[in-house]
Chains A and B, each alone.
Chain A
Amino acid sequence: MKSAFHSILAHLALGGALGLALGSVGADGAERPANGAAVYRQACLKCHGKAGEGVKDKYQDALQGDWSLDRLTHYIEKKMPEDDPGKCVGPNAEAVARYIYGAFYSREARARRHPVRVELTHLTNRQYVQSVADLLGQFNEPGTAPVRRMGGLQAVYYASRNTQRSEVTVERVDAQVNFDFGTNAPAGGAVPTNGFAIHWRGAVRADETGEYEFSLQTPNGVRLWVNDETTPLIDGSVASGTDNEPRATLRLIGGRAYPLRLELVKVPYNFKAPKNPNSAIVLQWKPPHGARQVIPARNLSPETAKPTFVVAAPFPADDSSAGYERGAGVSKAWDEATTRAAGEVAAYVVKHLDRLARTRSADADRAAKVTTFCGEFAAAAFRRPLTPEQNKGFITAPLAGAPKLEDGVRRVVLLALKSPRFLYPGWDAGKPDDFTVAERLAVELWDSLPDAELRQAAARGALHEPAAVAAQARRMLADARTRTKLQYFLQQWLQMNRVEDLSKDPLLYPGFTPELIADLRVSLNLFLEDVVWNGASDYRRLLFDRELFVNGRMARFYGYEFPPAAATNDFVKVAADPARCSGVVTHPYLLTEFSYAKSSSPIHRGVFLTRNIVGRSLKPPPMAQVFKDADFDPNLTMREKVAALTRPAACQACHSVINPLGFSLEQYDAVGRFHAREGGRVIDAGVDYPQEDGSVVRFQGPRAVAEFAAGSADAQTVFIEQLFHQLVQQSVAAYGPDVLDRLRQNFLASGCHVQNLVVEITTLAARQGYPSTTAVKKQL
């Protein structure tokens, strides 16, 4: 809270005088210690309610927060009751503060009053899509190694339209597909007389989950296959008219590589009446949150990848009411979405049944093999072996009841994917076993299903000991899915997915293009990844590292030195001026996001820093206020305008904290560029920040804020709590009152090692409720 008492001042008055003896003197004349509960009943209850829950039209907000007892006492002495401050002091103030603190105000008191438990939740949308992808992936070319080497596509150039081996002129890796050959031969040498062809092969990696629009610019005949080796995503074999930019959209799951093939055919130049003698090709995409651009080398690989099944059915948004996405509650729309998705999977399985079941249509034992496949499919979906009874209900019965084998398979798939055993991961019937531990680990780290190694460990009963579970978690860190999940957490922590349009006034910020905005996002993503997946994995580097990833466009716009040898759309790490650069705090993506279209926004920046970086909570504003630049004298600085706008006492309750943090970034304009002056006046980045205990710290610029945050227990706690929620999708309070503190102590001891923290959180949550001595098998 931090501010509940502040705002009391602002907008309510305690009716009536407090003409009561708060302490009491007994008949014997001896002073008895003040009774906090009695004081509360007498003086506070009227406005704050019986248990601090608030009173309508008096003081509505609940009395809860994270001030220390001392601070609470001090505040009551100074400010309470509101209409007559100074009436409740000394032992009375101490007693009532102790009562409030212990009865409902503190985190511990709240946990005691409203015990939080680990709730049954269904797969979130991300988890559903990933689980289904991996469920089918398990049966699809299971031996394919993950793509490792990025940097371009394997290209084969042919000196003819005929793509025979003998016509090959050049084989090489092309970093990008972005060529204008004009009327020349594409790979040098003489211009071929029978046209030519170029084939590119490899994989394309999606950074984030969402819709990708692929497009090709070419006057020639082209076909592009992505994540589907039979049907082209774009069939531009007929070049027609001026419509030379065919495009198509594909949904991809972030963090995965997908097979990509591109073929270009140029008809001969010397054919009768050639309309266009030129050849050229540009392979572009528009990724989610991005701008249309040539697919960069860092997203292309010359290696082969196996296709991934991506569910197309739209799901209703996950419940985010607790501040993180979780599968709480069910709705008709969700039930229908799971049905549609199960239908998609069923259709896919039936279409590819022979390959998935490793059989052929003419095999005598096809039915037996298909039955085995069905059993393996359901076991993988349920994340544990089937009991004989389950085998009967989920496999034998639907197969036997269907008119045709394929119909039976469709029913098995529908039944398995509609089952709570698939949809609600980690439920434990009060008796978690090794399979429960394995499935929880997979959900927590990967948003997906256990892999073969985890399944085998569970089957061996090798997930009894915390060390064994932690060892598995540590192994799982290396998987791309963990990176994706952690990256998503960091994006949520930094609120990178809240604002879609970061564009600014083009007259004030020329050159701040959609492409540049997309670059900023990539730059921030690369930075986050670099810090977390570096050996030290040090959280503090996130806050005050002085390195930044830039490409040529960013370097030009922001005035960074860019190595002349680097290709201009490559991102390179550059050392920035430490006086101006402090990790995520000064990253231009965030500075831009928390700005108006024509100016910085100290309030947005301040609120973000308060809540997510410094780790203090804020109440919603007591009154709605809109910042209108036109309302102010244009000679004022932004800092002066905001100070004026938030001057009322009701505002100051929170803005005394928000404003100084926001003002510390005033030397960065709406696009995150450093500027020392605003309208000819030197910008003052020095601020006085009031701490919890009322003392004031002087910050000179963002680095001081970041260093303060890095050492602040509140900031660390907020980071750990948010990470916990993102990984586990349960309230950390359900795992014990001291869990957060223990995690924080270990976090500090490890040098704020993020990867270690992930292992500790997931191990702890996976083992929740696990019997300490013997494993108990689920009896279902």
Chain B
Amino acid sequence: MNPLHRREFVRRLGLSAASLPFLLGLPSLGLAAPARPRQRLIVMFSPNGTIPAAYWPDELGAQFKLKEILAPLAAYQDRLLILRGLSNKVRGDGDGHMRGMSCLLTGIELFPGNIQGGSDSPAGWASGISIDQEIKDFFQSRPETRTRFGSLEFGVGVTDRADPWTRMSYAGPNRPVAPISDPYQMYQKLYGQLKDKEDLRSVLDAVRDDLKKVGKLISVEDRRLLAEHEALVRQMENEIAAAGTQKLRAAPPVLETGIADQNDNVPRLSRMQIDLLVNSFVNDMVRVATLQFTKSVGMAKMNWLDITDGHHTLSHEPDKNEAAVAKLTKINTWFCGELRYLVDKLARTPEPGAPGTMLDNTLIIWTNELGKGNSHTLDNLPFVLVGGGWGFRMGRSLDFQKTAHNRLHLALAHGAGHRLETFGKAALCEGGPLNLA
């Protein structure tokens, strides 16, 4: 059996032990227009490097032509910011994949540890917070940007293990945040309260009847106690009814049932997670999210693309293996297609209580832990930004020529109004935030 201890319950039931009164206190959902436009951030990750030749546009500036991998985003070219020349310059313990992954959003060294990669010295977790969590904490610290969850970490086929290859979000040093790969678990986290409330509401009437029935069978003196008890149940009924008048802006998405967390289900799992993500944004439960496809060294077998090799194995093939290059291009293009699905959804959803669409106020960063799979380089990390609302001038292709990626994180913090001096390893922040305006 699998008894749930406290943390588990809180997680699975979506209830915080401190969240009182019971099942009430859902966020107020008649969303008024915010004083400042909402800002949202999504970091989407796919692993094992890209195929640079099929990825980076040849041109810089506002006039550029998308290559094969980014082609699915053609309709949004004016909303893109393609950032070439950013390097993960964090050194120290851990192999390229580990540092690629766990320093990607943290920009700081890994602790020494016991996890041994295929090369370099063993390492542990990152020694600092990641930028998504930093911005989440900043949003949560202010009433006007605070949301119920602050951030949500979505996974797709991540596999159930915890090591520096599988974690990119960190709540702090040595505090990796596990993505939730099971959409049903995520659904429970987001909407479990509603479900519980509905079930509770359906039985309270019967509970009151039962109290009355038992009350008739016992002595007059004791009946008073049950009458008080019944009054409390009635009170709970009323409170639930009152809370029920608060409507969600968007009903929970209807999920296909019985989709197991398995390799071949990745395309369907991906769409379910993206639906949940956008839904949680519409209901303003959260403004920061990560969407992590598999993991660094991920071995997804993309049978749905007629590719039967494991992704990581393929990524080690030399450039001259044209078949492998073609497959890897296809794989990365598929990821971009999932990004397109997300962007489309946001672009079709009006911003609640404000003009424009949700995409106008949402910045998506698609990234990868390596510049290129077979060299394990941490230079020219794929960074494509889509959307708006962060004060960046979109519709451009830029090259920063081996600039530390910490400076992008600083730019994100500043874009959120969080004016950090440095982020991650301070020495890598020289020059301050990238100027993307």
Q: Which residues from chain A sit less than 8 Å from chain B, CB to CB?
A: 117, 119-120, 140-141, 219-221, 227-231, 233, 235, 237-243, 248-251, 265, 267, 271-276, 306-310, 312-314, 329-332, 335-336, 339-340, 343-344, 346-348, 351-352, 355, 393-394, 397-398, 401-402, 407, 410-411, 414-415, 418-421, 424, 427, 429-430, 780
Contacts and interface: CB of A to CB of B under 8 A. Distances in A.
Contact of A343 (B13, B211, B218, B222): B13
A346 B2 CA distance: 14
B218 A239 contact: no
A438 B177 CA distance: 49
A-B CB proximity, top 6 nearest: A240-B124, A241-B111, A120-B222, A429-B217, A273-B121, A239-B114
Contact of A330 (B2, B8, B229): B229
Interface centre among A235, A335, A343 (most CB of B within 10 A): A343
Contacts of B163: 237-238
B interface, how many residues as a size bin?
35 or more
A780 B218 CA distance: 11
Nearest to B221: A117
Contacts of A219: 114
A352 B2 CA distance: 8
A271 B116 contact: yes
B125 A427 contact: no
B225 A332 contact: no
B202 interface: yes
Interface stretch (B232-240, B285-293, B318-326, B333-341): B232-240
Contact of A329 (B115, B206, B225): B225
A355 B122 CA distance: 41
A70 to B, nearest CB: 38
Nearest to B109: A241
A336 B111 contact: no
Nearest to A418: B207
Contacts of A418: 203-204, 207, 233
29 contacts: A140-B1, A238-B115, A238-B125, A239-B113, A239-B114, A240-B110, A240-B113, A241-B111, A242-B111, A243-B173, A243-B174, A251-B6, A267-B114, A276-B114, A312-B9, A332-B235, A335-B229, A336-B20, A339-B236, A343-B22, A343-B23, A347-B12, A394-B206, A398-B203, A420-B214, A421-B210, A421-B214, A427-B218, A427-B222
Contacts of A230: 2
B162 A314 contact: no
A491 B436 CA distance: 68
B256 interface: no
A332 B2 CA distance: 31
B124 A241 contact: yes
A768 to B, nearest CB: 13
Contact of B232 (A332, A393, A401): A332
A411 B203 contact: yes
Contact of B226 (A331, A332, A420): A420
A273 B127 CA distance: 20
A336 B236 contact: yes
Given A228-B3, A344-B9, A421-B210, 7 more contacts: A237-B161, A271-B116, A309-B3, A329-B228, A351-B4, A352-B2, A415-B210
Contact of A339 (B3, B200, B226): B200
Nearest to A309: B3
Contact of B196 (A221, A343, A394): A343
Contact of B5 (A227, A275, A306): A227
Contact of A238 (B9, B164, B202, B233): B164
A241 B7 CA distance: 25
Contacts of A274: 121-122
A397 B202 CA distance: 11
B384 interface: no
Contact of A310 (B5, B114, B210): B5
A352 B121 CA distance: 43
Contacts, number: 203
Contact of B206 (A117, A335, A352, A398): A398
A243 B13 contact: no
B38 to A, nearest CB: 32
A312 B112 contact: no
A709 to B, nearest CB: 38
Contacts of B199: 346, 402, 407, 410-411, 414
B21 interface: yes
Contact of B112 (A235, A275, A335, A402): A275
A780 B1 contact: no
B10 interface: yes
A339 B116 contact: no
B26 interface: no
B5 A240 contact: no
B219 interface: yes
Nearest to A249: B6
B174 A241 contact: yes
Contacts of A309: 3-4
B113 A238 contact: yes
B142 interface: no
A356 B374 CA distance: 50
Interface centre among A219, A308, A347, A398 (most CB of B within 10 A): A347
A119 B211 CA distance: 16
B15 A275 contact: no
A276 B20 CA distance: 47
Contacts of B202: 398, 401-402, 411
Contacts of B120: 272
Contacts of B226: 120, 420, 424
A352 B162 CA distance: 25
Most chain B CB inside 10 Å of its own CB: which residue of A227, A243, A429: A243
A272 B196 CA distance: 53
Nearest to B167: A238
Nearest to A313: B17
